[in-house]
Amino acid sequence: MPTTESASARYAAIDDWSTAELVDGIVESQFTAIAAVSAARAAIARAVDAMAARLGDNGRIVYLGAGTSGRIGAQDGAELPPTFNWPYERAITLMAGGPGALLHAVENAEDSPTAAAEGLDALELTPADAVIGLAASGNTPYVVAGLAHARQRGALTIGIVNNPGGKVGQAAEIEILLETGPEFLAGSTRMKAGTAQKVALNAISTAVMIRLGFVYRGLMVEMRPTNAKLRERAVRMVVSLTGADDAAARAALEAAGGVIKLATVMLLRSLDRAGAEAALAKAGGNLRRALA
C-alpha cells in the first residue's frame, strides 16, 4: 500500500480532538511536506537545468495529472504567462477527464491508459518540450502512460511522486520523489502530498524562468501590467532599476506600451522605443545583456 494511502496511528482519534488540536495537527503536518521537498533538492535542480537547456524559443511546458495533482499542475502553468510573460500556448495542462475535471471530479478518468497519449499527440510534441507528470501514488495509469509516450517522442519527462518505487518514476527521465508519508486524513493527498507538489513546482518553474533570463535583479521584469495594482508595481520596478523619478518612469512605461524591460532600456541607455527594441532583440530579449 502506498504510504499516502495508509493510516497513521497518531491521527487515529482526530475526530475526538478539540478544534485547536485539529488546527495544530493539520498545520504541523505541512512541515513534513516542506521537509520532503528539501530532501529532493538535487533532483529538482537536475530538472531545472534540463528544462532550461531544452525549452529555447519554442519549447513548451506540459503538465500532466489527475485529480489534485492535475489541478496543482494547472495552477502552476496558469501563473507563468502573467508572471513571466511566458506565452499561454507554451504552458499547457492535460488533465485526466478533460478541462472540466479541474472543477468537478471525473470518475475513472485517471485509469485511462490511452487518453494522455492522445492528448500529447494532439500537441505534436517535439524534443524541445518538457512534460511534467504529477501523481501522489506514483502509479496513476494516465500519468504513467503519458510520460512513457512523451519520452518515446523525445520530450524531456519529469515525474513528481510522493511514494517510492512507482511506475511514474520509472517512466520519467527524471524522478522527483517527495516522501510525505501518511496524511492527516488517510489517503487525502490534497494535504501534505499536494503541498509538497506545489512547492516543488514553484521551485522548478521559477528557477527555470530565472535561468532563461525572465528575471533581472530579483524582479519580474517580464510581468504583464494588466491591472491597476500591477501597473503601479511596474512603475516601482522601473524606478528601482533606473533610478528615475516616478514621473519619468511612468512616461517611459507609457512610451514603451507598458513593457518594463523596454522602458528600462530606454531610460538607462537614452534610447527611443525603436532603439530600445533593437537593443533587446540583439540581446535575445535578455535585459541584463541589453544593458551590458
Task: Give the residue numbers marked as catalytic.
Answer: 79, 110
Whether 150 and 120 have beta carbons less than 8 Å apart is answered as yes
Residues 6 or more apart whose CB falls under 8 angstroms from that of 160 comprise: 69, 132, 133, 134, 135, 176, 178, 197, 200, 201
Q: Please, which contacts does 280-287 make with residues 24 or more away whose CB atoms are closer than 8 Å?
A: 284/213, 285/213, 285/261, 286/213, 287/213, 287/216, 287/221, 287/261
Closest by Cα among 262, 63, 41, 246 to 158: 63
Distance CA 189, CA 182 (A): 9
The secondary structure element, H or E, covering residue 42 is helix 41-55
Supply 133's cell numbers. 507528470
Residues 6 or more apart whose CB falls under 8 angstroms from that of 179 comprise: 3, 36, 39, 162, 163, 164
Distance CA 267, CA 242 (A): 7
Distance in angstroms between the alpha carbons of the first and the last residue of the chain: 56
Which residue carries 514603451 as its cell?
256
Supply 137's cell numbers. 501514488
Identify the burial level of 89 via C-beta atoms within 10 angstroms of its C-beta, where 0-12 means exposed, 13-18 middle and 19 or more buried. Answer: exposed
Q: CA angle 153-155-156, nearest 5°?
A: 145
The secondary structure element, H or E, covering residue 228 is helix 228-242
